[in-house]
Amino acid sequence: MIRYLIRRLLQMIPLLFVISLISFMIAAFAPGDPVYQYVNPTKKPPTQEELDIIRHRYGLDRPVHVRYLFWLRDIFKGDWGFSTRSKTAVTTEVLSRLPNTILLSGVSLLFAIVVAIPLGVLSAVKRYSILDYITTFIAFVGISVPSFWFALLIVAVFANKLGWFPSVGMSSAGANLTGMAKFFDVANHLVLPVAALSFSELAYWIRYQRASLLENLNQDFVRTARAKGLKENTVIWRHAFRNSLVTTVTLIGLSLPWLVNGSYITESIFGWPGMGRLGITSIMSRDYPVVMAVTMLSALLVISGNLLSDIMYAIVDPRTRFD
């Protein structure tokens, strides 16, 4: 197990390397002269010599592969460069947003798990009941409705019409809250973004949990368990459910990228001060140092998600062999 883990972690290095190379090349070959990122557009347009000076100062006169190697060297020193938009260090910029994204994604993930698994189990156990039909319907809606549209919908209903929850930001503007008051304020702001972010994932998981539990309930070992005279609850939870988790758990790990992707749109809609919104704003303003940092972090999350799902798979399914 440990050896497997080490090998997988080592495999991440070339992967991240290739990803960084691809994204760097995309940024480097984008049309438009990158030197203008460093020019204040409100001032008088710079002369050719001034442009050359700036170009030289930021190393933009070097060929692409040299620039990439320099970038790579700086990364290893922990220096991600400066945002061309806000002129602050990329690390400061990203680190100030990261906790907010982790909060939003983490709560969404937890919420989706806590809701989806029991609902999936219930609709499998009570197959073809009214409850099953309702959850199936909700799941289908969740799968086919665009998540950003669902976000607009809940904003229109719960924020604008009913006024139950705030629709923008992470905390009430101007209010200097502390302790529990602050906690409840943030929690209140979390409700709508979490609902928007987790809805479609939740829908998928319900379907998969239902399908895999149904499949397991038809297996011989479940019949044996029933024939032994075990209580139905024990049969379902201890025997069938445990085995059905294998599918769901893999799925949850694999959906971490979705959490990352989804956060771009969700954070933009709800004005959540997280990485996703930072990513979108920096793309729009061609702030490549930040774009690179956000891309690499997202890639890292995606890869770790895959790894995590493999590890969890091994935990739920003891038959898994590591080679």
Partner 1 sequence: MTELKLDEPLKSKYPKTQLGITWYMFRRHKLAVFSLGMLLFLFLAAIFAEQLMPYDPIKLDPVYAKGRPQPPTNEHWFGTDDLGRDLFSRALSGARVSLAVGFISVGISTLIGLVIGSMAGFVGGWVDNILMRLADIFLSLPTFYLIITVNSMFKPSIFNVMIVIGIFGWMGVSRLLRGEFLHLKNTEFITAARAIGVPNMRMILKHLIPNSIAPVIVNATMGIPSAILLESALSFLGLGIQPPAASWGSMLQDAKQWLHFAWWMWVIPGVLISLTVIAFNFVGDGLRDALDPLERGRG
For partner 1, the binding residues (CB under 8 A) are 15, 18-19, 22-23, 26-27, 30-32, 140-141, 143-149, 152-153, 155-156, 160-161, 257, 260-261, 264-265, 268-269, 279-280, 283-284, 286, 291, 294-295, 298-299, 301-303, 306
Shortest distance, position 160 Cβ to partner 1, whole Å: 4
Phi, psi of 283 (to 5 degrees): -65, -45
Shortest distance, position 246 Cβ to partner 1, whole Å: 21
Other Cβ atoms closer than 10 A to 71: 19
Q: What residues are paired with 85 via a beta bridge?
A: none
User: From CA 82, how far away is CA 71, in angstroms rounded?
Assistant: 12
Q: Residue 27 or residue 194: which is nearer to partner 1 going by CB? A: 27
Residues 297/275, Cβ–Cβ less than 8 Å: yes
User: From CA 72, how far away is CA 67, in angstroms rounded?
Assistant: 9
Give CA separation, 245 vs 5, 140, 182, 230, 252, in Å: 22, 21, 36, 20, 10
**Residues sharing a CB contact under 8 Å with residue 209, sequence separation 6 or more, in sequence order:** 116, 117, 119, 120, 121, 124, 244, 247, 248
Q: Residue 230 or residue 254: which is nearer to partner 1 going by CB? A: 254
Residues 166/159, Cβ–Cβ less than 8 Å: yes
Q: Residue 117 or residue 275: which is nearer to partner 1 going by CB? A: 275
Shortest distance, position 23 Cβ to partner 1, whole Å: 7
Shortest distance, position 107 Cβ to partner 1, whole Å: 21
Residues 277/266, Cβ–Cβ less than 8 Å: no
Give the three-class secondary structure for 220: helix
User: From CA 190, how far away is CA 270, in angstroms rounded?
Assistant: 10
Q: What residues are paired with 89 via a beta bridge?
A: 82
Shortest distance, position 143 Cβ to partner 1, whole Å: 7
Q: Residue 26 or residue 177: which is nearer to partner 1 going by CB? A: 26
Q: Residue 84 or residue 243: which is nearer to partner 1 going by CB? A: 84
Q: Residue 199 or residue 241: which is nearer to partner 1 going by CB? A: 199
Residues 209/251, Cβ–Cβ less than 8 Å: no
Q: Residue 103 or residue 143: which is nearer to partner 1 going by CB? A: 143
Q: Residue 212 or residue 295: which is nearer to partner 1 going by CB? A: 295
Shortest distance, position 176 Cβ to partner 1, whole Å: 29
Shortest distance, position 196 Cβ to partner 1, whole Å: 13
Shortest distance, position 156 Cβ to partner 1, whole Å: 5
Other Cβ atoms closer than 10 A to 264: 20
